[in-house]
Structure 1
């Protein structure tokens, strides 16, 4: 049965601060752009902007939500906020909900399964506050805007700051799938959701393929917005976004489905030909725009406005451009394909990890010999030799260590990148320890499923969703993620690992399930990702080179005392020589410094 389309809620682009304490009311009344709507004496003070409306329960408690639910009852969630059974576990869609007692010191907050709508909390003495944007808390009574060095270290390794840490030492982010309770000064967090992998589905390949196809189609249909206009889809030309567009168009062939795609002039980065192919194959209405190096530099300033913490993933640039294109076309909601790689088995590093696992099983003497031999010829400007040495080094590690080594910039260059003072406060293995803790969460599962769960926790919840939500919210556009539908994720967790990655073939069952829905060329195309040609521009564009050097090498950056400037200069030179691509790391350093200047360096 086809689900009835549900209109997108504008509340997901709104903001709020709920604060308790003697100076809370005065603080919020002085906050630009926020409307104080609840400031009764002795009660928590509420300030809002956008389409966020507080509600009242029969028992006098209040609640509000930023939410775009496919299935779930916000009022019921508020009524049962403190119950042992957390009803939000079974909801579908996006939400951040807060319930509070206007007559006492009690607040309860919920993030959705992947924390796609962030919540932050701050506590200092008698003050406690919850907000939807970290920047709203930086002016809280007693907040000193002191950077958290461990969070910065994580940022330099992951390109984003993972919850519960934030850029500000006094502010914390509620983790995904979590209930936070603050009562009489005591704080408690309960994790109500982690992806599970019972791997209990059995049947013929054709039967499982048919079931998976039905589940995918059902989830995508459920996430379809109501109406024939005012919404559209991100379309990169990859299998996830292309399948969503095709399924929606096939659902109602006579109704329009619009898509938005971003291209580049640089070879190896542009996928507009595949996006056009996907749209034309199903009859969707494609819309295109491009980002060149000049526009990218302009959008760098937008990155600082759009993200409430430093966000170093350069693909934020084309994502912002795509959301802007959708907004210009009158879209108030867009559908995105994030999560498909992590539930269907599409990441290239899943297949790569199987090869590394085979190397890891070799006798220690052989591994040591391979590392030694490749190490003798690595380190120069030969990109291939450097990659081979990097492989033998990473493949000698167990998981999650070898999986982590894919995102280990600050760890790899710990002694040369970071100052003595920084290293005295943050251990080399701090980010690895963080990832190990995430790897150990959840019920036992096959190793592939454990790293897929790790990817959902890190690459999706802490990076990709931050990117897409920030870009869409900046342009006042809602966004839905059909491939993170709780029902679909639960279903794929029941499939055995070989249905995700068979041999080195990624998305094994998914590709069969999408036969007839996607063109063969898209099913067979190599994964490319939604990248930005920073590597090319840093080599060829004097304006971008000048921007990078003027920020990273100036006295204001040096004065922080965290990063060794001579190493940054060497890193830029290494990138220019072509021995390794350090564009992602250079971009991270640039965004970090610019974000700190805008929001933390305030007298």
Structure 2
């Protein structure tokens, strides 16, 4: 596991490259490598997981130079195949097979990879070419800035690092505030920075001076499967067991994250089958708060004999943690779970672990969200799209527009809101309802909102997260199943619950579903330090500096949360707080003239 960075057909000093590397060192503290040519440079920071004495990057073979971030789980099979074709390898590290694989298959090398990855290849055998590639689910993000006029490209695994290249500027994307509040973070390839994008999942990008930048997204669609409930449940359990067992192999200790819900508990149960004295981690908050899940996590740990770690954080410390959370994410994410995630993986690191398996992405694959259930229950001919899109928002449309300054509201209504664009994409989709929803949940929301959060906040503490539910075989099978095996009436994740039968305590299988998140409604109250911090950060004088929010409207929101706290107003306050912290860290306090933008 590593962090990678570089530039192509452009100039960057070694000092710049070392600065980029330094800003990503938390994700790869074990070694640092930089190599340069006349108009290109590649580098990586290494977190040693496999073959601890090997793994030196870049990997080089006859004019092919490669840096790599991630894990290739089928590298042993690929090494045997490539060895039979005459290739030799300096070590047993998973990434060392990549130059030979590229030499054999060119840009189609990704079709042979099973794992999570972001790969950068400089091919110097003819016209110099840069190739960037991401795994099918987007588990390993890769941000880039492309200057089409000059044909310059810069890339890095994290946004703060990319911004340290002198040619990459931290300009706010003007629709970003609305996109963030409408979907909790910008979806798909968009970031909150103008001129910076993220490579989509299953993408292969090629850059040459002659052809410029070309991005091809691999086809990950699957045909429908014809399976009954029992057969499907057995197959899901079989696939998940195989992936969990495979993903617990490493040359360092592996632990499990156990929230107490179905998904992480099932992964923990299967990991315990293979890992002797498995360590499990759960996070909770000091004091008495609603939706505490530690009891469920402890039941799972006791049943499967894990060595359980109960992590506790003090809500009084949250303001001190939030700036670090926002910095590592590089852009706002409105889910309060970000703070919990950051604190949890810090504790995992402090306990001496470099690898953790989690249950992330099961809800997207198997229809675990109430918004999916509601959309599928809506009758034929019923317009389910507006309610589904509204459910994605941090702040509903009317309240959102009421919080904006006059000129920003004018700008957004003139250009269309983020939810307008998403609703149009759903309405015009040629697919059936579940497939259209799945394309949004897996193709747009999961990488942007969920996987980048997990990646950045775990690697902030030098911890690699492995995601069994994101493995290609399981994803393909889940996507092939009919809607009735995922959501039926009020039951969500039907096939996954069936697959977990006999593996988990009844209390976990029968408990009501609740999100693993921070109880911010209770914490954003008078007398709590988090509420005082929000008032300071959202003070009128601060908001006037950027000119997008109406200070009077924000003060009214804070009064509402103080007098009659609700989940909706708490999330709105939290979301604005996170956005203000992001502005503080990445942008000068100079309002833009939106009338010029509109002109």
Question: In the alignment, which residue of structure 2 is the partner of 1:322?
Answer: 344
Describe the superposition over 1:401-451 as per-residue Cα deviations: whole angstroms up to 9, x where unpaired.
Answer: 321111232633353222233234334633124424764899x65422431
Query: How far apart are 1:189 and its partner, in Å?
Result: 1.2
Give the secondary structure class of the aligned counterpart of 1:426.
helix
Alpha-carbon distance change, 30 to 249 in structure 1, aligned in 2, over 3 angstroms: closer
Question: In the alignment, which residue of structure 2 is the partner of 1:430?
Answer: 417
Alpha-carbon distance change, 223 to 582 in structure 1, aligned in 2, over 3 angstroms: same
Question: In the alignment, which residue of structure 2 is the partner of 1:217?
Answer: 241
Alpha-carbon distance change, 208 to 423 in structure 1, aligned in 2, over 3 angstroms: same
**Which region of structure 1 is more displaced relative to structure 2, 470-479 or 136-145?**
136-145
Describe the superposition over 1:543-562 as per-residue Cα deviations: whole angstroms up to 9, x where unpaired.
Answer: 22221111112423212111
2:63 to 48, 60, 63: 60
Matches of 1:475 and 1:490, distance apart in 2:
31
Matches of 1:496 and 1:452, distance apart in 2:
12
Does 2:144 match 1:121? Answer: yes
Question: In the alignment, which residue of structure 1 is the partner of 2:35?
Answer: 38
Query: How far apart are 1:187 and its partner, in Å?
Result: 1.3
Give the secondary structure class of the aligned counterpart of 1:179.
strand
Alpha-carbon distance change, 526 to 559 in structure 1, aligned in 2, over 3 angstroms: same
Alpha-carbon distance change, 135 to 440 in structure 1, aligned in 2, over 3 angstroms: farther
Alpha-carbon distance change, 53 to 596 in structure 1, aligned in 2, over 3 angstroms: farther
Give the secondary structure class of the aligned counterpart of 1:479.
strand
Question: In the alignment, which residue of structure 1 is the partner of 2:214?
Answer: 188
Matches of 1:430 and 1:105, distance apart in 2:
41
Give the secondary structure class of the aligned counterpart of 1:68.
strand
Q: How does 1:107-146 map to 2 (within 5 A)?
A: 107-124=130-147, 125-126=149-150, 127-146=152-171
Question: In the alignment, which residue of structure 2 is the partner of 1:3?
Answer: none
Question: In the alignment, which residue of structure 2 is the partner of 1:413?
Answer: 399
Give the secondary structure class of the aligned counterpart of 2:133.
strand
Give the secondary structure class of the aligned counterpart of 2:480.
coil
Contact 1:43 1:104 in 2 (8 A): no
Contact 1:342 1:452 in 2 (8 A): yes
2:182 to 151, 154, 157: 157
Does 2:373 match 1:351? Answer: yes
Matches of 2:402 and 2:319, distance apart in 1:
28
Give the secondary structure class of the aligned counterpart of 2:270.
helix
Question: In the alignment, which residue of structure 2 is the partner of 1:243?
Answer: 266
Give the secondary structure class of the aligned counterpart of 1:561.
coil
Alpha-carbon distance change, 90 to 82 in structure 1, aligned in 2, over 3 angstroms: closer
1:585 to 557, 572, 578: 572
Instruction: Extract unaligned runs of 5+ from structure 2.
Output: 24-31, 48-54, 79-97, 591-599
Matches of 1:110 and 1:437, distance apart in 2:
29
2:492 to 483, 489, 506: 506
Give the secondary structure class of the aligned counterpart of 1:33.
helix
Contact 1:62 1:99 in 2 (8 A): yes
Query: How far apart are 1:153 and its partner, in Å?
Result: 2.0
Query: How far apart are 1:307 and its partner, in Å?
Result: 1.4
Alpha-carbon distance change, 580 to 66 in structure 1, aligned in 2, over 3 angstroms: closer
Alpha-carbon distance change, 578 to 22 in structure 1, aligned in 2, over 3 angstroms: closer
Q: How does 1:207-356 map to 2 (within 5 A)?
A: 207-226=231-250, 230-251=253-274, 255-264=276-285, 265-355=287-377
Alpha-carbon distance change, 329 to 31 in structure 1, aligned in 2, over 3 angstroms: closer
Query: How far apart are 1:598 and its partner, in Å?
Result: 1.5
Alignment coverage as a number of residue pairs = 546
Give the secondary structure class of the aligned counterpart of 2:401.
helix
Give the secondary structure class of the aligned counterpart of 1:528.
coil
Contact 1:314 1:587 in 2 (8 A): yes
Question: In the alignment, which residue of structure 1 is the partner of 2:10?
Answer: 21
Matches of 2:567 and 2:212, distance apart in 1:
49
Alpha-carbon distance change, 439 to 333 in structure 1, aligned in 2, over 3 angstroms: farther
Q: Give TM-score, length-normalised by structure 1.
A: 0.84
Query: How far apart are 1:241 and its partner, in Å?
Result: 0.5
Matches of 1:28 and 1:251, distance apart in 2:
41
Question: In the alignment, which residue of structure 2 is the partner of 1:49?
Answer: 45
Contact 2:316 2:528 in 1 (8 A): no
Matches of 1:286 and 1:93, distance apart in 2:
28
**Which region of structure 1 is more displaced relative to structure 2, 530-539 or 161-170?**
161-170
Higher relative contact order (CA 8 A, sep 6+): 1
Give the secondary structure class of the aligned counterpart of 2:387.
helix
**Which region of structure 1 is more displaced relative to structure 2, 176-185 or 415-424?**
415-424
Query: How far apart are 1:308 and its partner, in Å?
Result: 2.1
Contact 2:372 2:388 in 1 (8 A): no
Query: How far apart are 1:523 and its partner, in Å?
Result: 0.8
Matches of 1:232 and 1:593, distance apart in 2:
35
Query: How far apart are 1:96 and its partner, in Å?
Result: 0.2
Describe the superposition over 1:477-508 as per-residue Cα deviations: whole angstroms up to 9, x where unpaired.
Answer: 11100011110011122222111112221122
Question: In the alignment, which residue of structure 2 is the partner of 1:78?
Answer: 102
Matches of 2:517 and 2:481, distance apart in 1:
30
Instruction: Extract unaligned runs of 5+ from structure 1.
Output: 1-9, 363-396
Contact 1:263 1:271 in 2 (8 A): yes
Contact 1:230 1:332 in 2 (8 A): yes
Matches of 2:240 and 2:428, distance apart in 1:
27
Alpha-carbon distance change, 497 to 36 in structure 1, aligned in 2, over 3 angstroms: closer
Alpha-carbon distance change, 269 to 477 in structure 1, aligned in 2, over 3 angstroms: same
Query: How far apart are 1:139 and its partner, in Å?
Result: 3.6
Matches of 1:152 and 1:494, distance apart in 2:
36
Contact 1:92 1:487 in 2 (8 A): no
Matches of 2:565 and 2:226, distance apart in 1:
48
Describe the superposition over 1:23-49 as per-residue Cα deviations: whole angstroms up to 9, x where unpaired.
Answer: 555643665727673233x23023443
Contact 1:263 1:272 in 2 (8 A): yes
Alpha-carbon distance change, 80 to 158 in structure 1, aligned in 2, over 3 angstroms: farther
Alpha-carbon distance change, 282 to 470 in structure 1, aligned in 2, over 3 angstroms: same
Matches of 1:328 and 1:481, distance apart in 2:
21
Structure 1 runs (4+) greater than 6 angstroms displaced? none
Describe the superposition over 1:265-286 as per-residue Cα deviations: whole angstroms up to 9, x where unpaired.
Answer: 3443210000000111111111
Q: Give TM-score, length-normalised by structure 2.
A: 0.84
